[in-house]
Structures are given as C-alpha cells and as structure tokens.
Amino acid sequence: MTTGAARRPAPAPPPDPPERAASLAPWQLAVSSSLMIAMMSVVGATAPDLRAYLGVSTSALTLAFIGQMAGAFAGAVIIARARHRLLELSPLALLAAAAVGAAALAPSLPFLVAAMLVAGAGGMGVNATAQAETMRRAGPRRARALSQYHTWGGAGSVVFPLAVAGLLAAGVPWQSAFVLIVVAYVAHAWVNRHLRVVHAQRDTGSARPAIGPRARWAVVVAVVAGGIQLTFPLYFSSLAVDHFGASAATGSAVIGVYALGILIARAGGTAIMPRLPVDRQLRAGCAVMLAGYVLLAVAGGLPLLVVAAFLLGLGIGQLLPLGMARSAREIGDDRYSTGIVYTWNSVMQLASPALVALLLQVMDLRAALVATVPLALLIVLAVWRSRPADPALLAPAR
C-alpha cells in the first residue's frame, strides 16, 4: 500500500550550476603556456647584455633562438607520436629547467645554442602535452578553453619581460632572467608530479586523421601567427636600444607592452566569445595586426614604437589559440592536431627569425621586421579560406 506522499513525483533536482569559464583551462596545465612564452622570450629580453657578454652581434645571437626552435620542433614531433612515462609533464619540466640553467652558465655562443636546443625540446613537450589535455577535457568548447589557456601565456609574456626589466634596472645580472625560468619549471614539475596524461583519441594502430583543405588553412593561421608572435619579442629590445636610444631595461619593457597587447586580446576575447563569433575575432585580429605593422613602419620615436608594439600584440594575440582550436575541430583529434600545429609552428619559428637575420644583412632592423608583412597577409588569406562551411559554426562560441 502506498501513501499519497509516495505517489507524488519526486521533486526535480536543482539544475547544475553553470560551468565556470576558468574550469576549462586548469591553472596546473595552463601555466605551461606562461613558461613556454617566458622561455622563448628570454634571449630577446636579455639580448643587449647577452650580446655584450658573449661578444656577438644581433644576427649571431639569433642562432640561440633558432636552436631553441629546433629543439621545440623535435619536442612537438615526439609528443605527437610517442607515448612513454618519461613524456609526462613533470620529467619534461625538469629537463627544461636543467637546460635553461645550463644556458645561464654558457661560456660561449655554441654552448648557449646547444643548451637552448634542449630547453626548447623540454618546454615544447610540456606545453604541447598540457594543451592537448586541456582540449580533450573541454571537448566542443575547445575554442574558449584554448583562449583561456593562452591567456596564461599572455600573462607570462607580460610579467616576465617586465620582471626582467625591473631586475636589469636594479643592476641584477642578466642571468637572473634564466634563473627565474629554472625555478618556475622546477615548481611546475613538483605541482604535476602525480599527473598522468591521456592517450591519443584514436585507437593504437589506426590511421592518422585526414587533414582536409579547411583544416590545412586553419593550421596555417595558427602556425604563421605563432611564428610572427615569437619573432617580435626576439628583436624589440634590440630595436629600442639600437634605433631609439633606449636603455636595456626600457627595451625589455617594450617587449612587456607587446605582451600586454597579447594578454588583453586573449582575456578580452575569452570574455566576449559568447557574443562575438570566433571568425569575427580572427578577422578583427588581422586588421589590428596590420595597423601595428603600419605604425611600426612610420614610427619616428620611442613612444610610437611602444604603441606599434601594443597594436601588434593586440592583433596577433587571438590568432594562435583560435587558429589551433579551428584546426582541432576540423581534424578531430586534439593530441594529434596539437602535435601537427606545434611541429610546423616550430618550423615557422625557425624560418621567421632566420628571415629577419638574413634581411639584416641588407637593411636595418626595423625595415627587416616590417618586411615580414607578407606573412601577416598570408594569415588574412588563411582565416578566410578556413571558414567553416556550416553557417551554424560561425555563430558565437559558447
């Protein structure tokens, strides 16, 4: 026999609270982006003092960055294809810390290049692994997750060069910038010592995902944007010192302003993504980036250089994460697409500074940086060619 109370339907459970945006990119993973950006910019942030210490030119010092990107290329290839316990976040972070520490003690340019090559492999391994796991957890919300993830990179790219500028202004040796990165990677290894990353989404032994035309163009957006993004910090400090008479600390601060533009683009882009479609954000980023190029070309003093650096960072900021999210959606495998993008991104980050170094043989540094504008125009084309065929995918990303 049942009672009247028992016959009444059970009350509906309260709705789940809306998922917080921050939960899409856990800080334990997203900080990997900050560390990678800091490590990629350390040579540029300390370039004036580092050149004097080693007795080399700006173009020669570019070899250290090229070595770093060669290591990053190897790290991206390994992460995309290999599965081993030594490729977890913690061991890779310790590898990066040891290599950056060796770079701080480099007695010569060849030693510095070798140390940064190993650092690039370890740092890219950490970053690619953490990003793939972030996308896997986010699923169809990966565009917003990557925007949040790379916001941490933007924050790191602001805080690190400004911290370096403060240290240099206080008279602390340039090696302190490398020490900061060593300490951060050791702490990162400790925090993630129990984390075990997931396997690739496809079954072992199955064919690799097909990469169609739109996916290839989306990869171009992320790859070329990543190349340009890391080229400017390598040279901005030297440009401010050599062409505009700034101090080494001010030169590092210019990199911080550029990074602030990136941070604002990513934090703001994440906030407005529920209302502004990803495609519109990509097109707006292209327009602001081109405006930055124009101002860089005509800047007659340090204040205009600072504004140009800010506009370039603001325009480039969202191109890499949203391009990566678009490529992952088209390819359908987060870990594999991450490996593909970062593999070619490493090639681009080798080619772009190498192009600037080559141009330095026939023109000054500012003209060489402006001469990379065809790469920016390629991004504009790739954004257009990678647009989804389904109109629903052009709606605001939730």
In a domain, 92, yes or no: yes
CA-CA distances (angstroms) from residue 375 to 236, 248, 348? Answer: 18, 29, 10
pLDDT of residue 205: 52
In a domain, 6, yes or no: no
Q: Given the structure tokens 């870990």, which residue do they identify?
A: 335
pLDDT of residue 287: 96
pTM of the model: 0.72
Number of H helices, E strands in the chain: 16, 0
Q: How far is 359 from 345, CA to CA, in rounded Å? A: 21
pLDDT of residue 390: 62
CA-CA distances (angstroms) from residue 359 to 41, 283, 287, 370? Answer: 21, 29, 25, 11
In a domain, 15, yes or no: no
Q: Could you tell me the pLDDT band of residue 331, with boundaries at 50, 70 and 90?
A: confident
In a domain, 5, yes or no: no
Q: Could you tell me the pLDDT band of residue 276, with boundaries at 50, 70 and 90?
A: confident
In a domain, 172, yes or no: yes
pLDDT of residue 206: 58
In a domain, 287, yes or no: yes
pLDDT of residue 367: 94
CA-CA distances (angstroms) from residue 128 to 38, 88, 118, 153, 396? Answer: 15, 11, 15, 13, 27
The count of structural domains within the chain is 1
**Contact indicator for 346, 237 with CB cutoff of 8 Å:** no
Mean pLDDT of the chain: 83
Please list, in sequence order, all residues whose beta carbon lies within 8 angstroms of the beta carbon of residue 54, skipping any fewer than 6 positions away.
61, 106, 108, 109, 112
Q: Could you tell me the pLDDT band of residue 377, with boundaries at 50, 70 and 90?
A: very high
Q: Could you tell me the pLDDT band of residue 179, with boundaries at 50, 70 and 90?
A: very high
Q: Could you tell me the pLDDT band of residue 307, with boundaries at 50, 70 and 90?
A: very high
Identify which has the larger pLDDT, 274 or 134.
134
Average pLDDT over residues 151-180: 85
Instruction: Write out the two tokens for 116.
Output: 């940064």
pLDDT of residue 109: 93
Q: Could you tell me the pLDDT band of residue 11, with boundaries at 50, 70 and 90?
A: very low
Residue closest to 116 by CA, chosen among 79, 63, 166, 162: 63
Neighbouring CB atoms inside 10 A of 364's CB total: 12
Phi-psi sector, 205: left (phi>0), alpha (psi -120 to 50), beta:
left
DSSP symbol at 204: T
Q: How far is 190 from 333, CA to CA, in rounded Å? A: 29
Q: Could you tell me the pLDDT band of residue 198, with boundaries at 50, 70 and 90?
A: low
Ranked by mean pLDDT, which of 180-189, 209-218, 225-234, 350-359 comes out on top? 180-189
Q: Given the structure tokens 């140009």, which residue do they identify?
A: 308
Average pLDDT over residues 145-149: 84
pLDDT of residue 290: 97
Q: How far apart are the first and last CA of the chain?
A: 49
In a domain, 174, yes or no: yes
Average pLDDT over residues 130-154: 82
Identify which has the larger pLDDT, 309 or 23.
309
pLDDT of residue 239: 92
3-state secondary structure labels for all residues of 314-343: HHHCCHHHHHHHHHHHHHCCHHHHHHHHHH
Q: Could you tell me the pLDDT band of residue 312, with boundaries at 50, 70 and 90?
A: very high
Domain interval for residue 274: 25-390
In a domain, 11, yes or no: no
Q: What does the pLDDT look like over 55-70, one tens digit per residue?
A: 988 778 888 888 888 8
Q: What angle do CA 306, 310, 314 make, to 5 degrees?
A: 170
Percent with pLDDT over 70 in the chain: 86
Percent with pLDDT over 90 in the chain: 31
User: Residue 73 maps to which CATH number?
Assistant: 1.20.1250.20
The yes-or-no verdict on residue 166 having pLDDT over 80 is: yes
